[in-house]
Amino acid sequence: MEHKVCLITGATSGIGLALARRFGQDGYRIFITGRNREKLDQTVSELQQSGIEAFGIQADAASETDQRRAVAETINRCGRLDVLINNAGISMRALFEEADLDVIRKVMETNFFGTVYATKAALPYLIRSKGSIVGISSIAGYKGLPGRTGYSASKFAMAGFLEALELELLKKGVHVLLASPGFTATAIRENSLTKNGDPQGVSPREEEKMMKPEEVAGLILEAVKKRKRNLIMTGEGKLMVWLNKFFPGWVGRQVYKKMASEPGSGLEP
């Protein structure tokens, strides 16, 4: 196990950092990407101090060139890749009728095309190792969330992409996992884009009641070991996905009520 290699995009905080710690503790060599060099170096240093063999690559998930380079640097250093975790992502919080289209475009470029770029670059090596491709999705990829049109679209797109790719790889031994945490206490809501592209700044939710990144990371590691296809991490999420198959209108009304209750949602109560 000490020779296995895991590349995680967008892993200087939140779920990505928790995944780096958990997979590193399990014996993987860890490569993480991030846009901010100072934060990236600090994260790598913290991982190394805890006994994890970690390396950082400055890269923007929305850049095809950066994603190719991240994979190339991983292969140049270790000669193999066993797990790719497409974790980098951003959210949004704006009604579609008010949102700049650049906001939708930026969310899609990071969440969806970032996954496509990294997976395309890594695929030959994952076929060789019969490794795993992981997409960090959301319940928003099963049910559209009002005020999150671009985010929901990006997660639906990721799900469709990975499902089709899984079938293409059916005879090649590559494992594909779509992992959907519940609301998790990370900085994604503080960094969520408002209608003009500025970060939201303050989370409208009670973060202390959410899943912890470490819990999410542990569940994903076990799902990779068991080579699961789908992982929905909360009972509420599983129930919503099941009910939505049979009662989409009713589920939609419940989702609307919940999202409308957020301060500043812009939705009529």
CA distance 146 to 134: 26
For residue 251, being part of any structural domain is answered with no
Check whether 188 has a pLDDT greater than 90.
no
Q: Model pTM greater than 0.75?
A: yes
**Known catalytic residue: 151?**
yes
Q: Considering the domain boundaries, does residue 246 fall inside one? A: no
Please give the average per-residue pLDDT across 38-55, as a whole number.
97
Residue 148 within any structural domain of the chain: yes
- What's the mean per-residue pLDDT of the chain? 92
Catalytic residue among 28, 125, 142, 151: 151
Q: Given its phi and psi angles, is residue 13 left (phi above 0), alpha (psi -120 to 50 degrees) or beta? A: beta
- The set of residues, in sequence order, having a beta carbon less than 8 Å from that of 217 and lying 6+ positions away, is 15, 18, 19, 21, 22, 23
SS3 of residue 7 by DSSP: strand
Q: Is 252 among the domain residues?
A: no
List Cα–Cα distances, 14 to 160, 214, 232, in angstroms. 25, 9, 18
Examine residue 155 and state whether it is found in any structural domain, yes or no.
yes
- pLDDT score at 199: 78
- Assess if residue 88 is contained within a domain: yes
Nearest CA to 136 among 116, 159, 113?
159
Average pLDDT over residues 59-65: 98
Is 108 a domain residue?
Answer: yes
Backbone angles phi, psi at 255, to 5 degrees: -65, -45
Note down the domain range covering 42.
5-236
Q: pLDDT-based confidence at 269, cuts 50/70/90?
A: confident
Closest CA to 116 of 82, 170, 154: 154
Residue 1 has pLDDT above 50, yes or no: no
DSSP secondary structure letters along 101-133: HHHHHHHHIIIIIHHHHHHHHHHHHHHHHT-EE
100 beta partners: none
Res 164: pLDDT: 98
In a domain, 258, yes or no: no
- CATH of residue 47's domain is 3.40.50.720
How far, CA to CA in Å, does 37 sit from each of 18, 58, 69? 19, 6, 15
pLDDT digits (tens, 9 = 90+) for 122-180: 999 999 999 999 999 999 999 999 999 999 999 999 999 999 999 999 999 999 999 99
For the stretch 84-128, pLDDT in tens is 999 999 999 999 999 999 999 999 999 999 999 999 999 999 999
Q: What is the domain count for the chain? A: 1
The percentage of the chain sitting over the pLDDT mark of 70, rounded to a whole number, equals 93
Q: What is the pLDDT of residue 46?
A: 96
Between 182 and 227, the more confident residue is 227
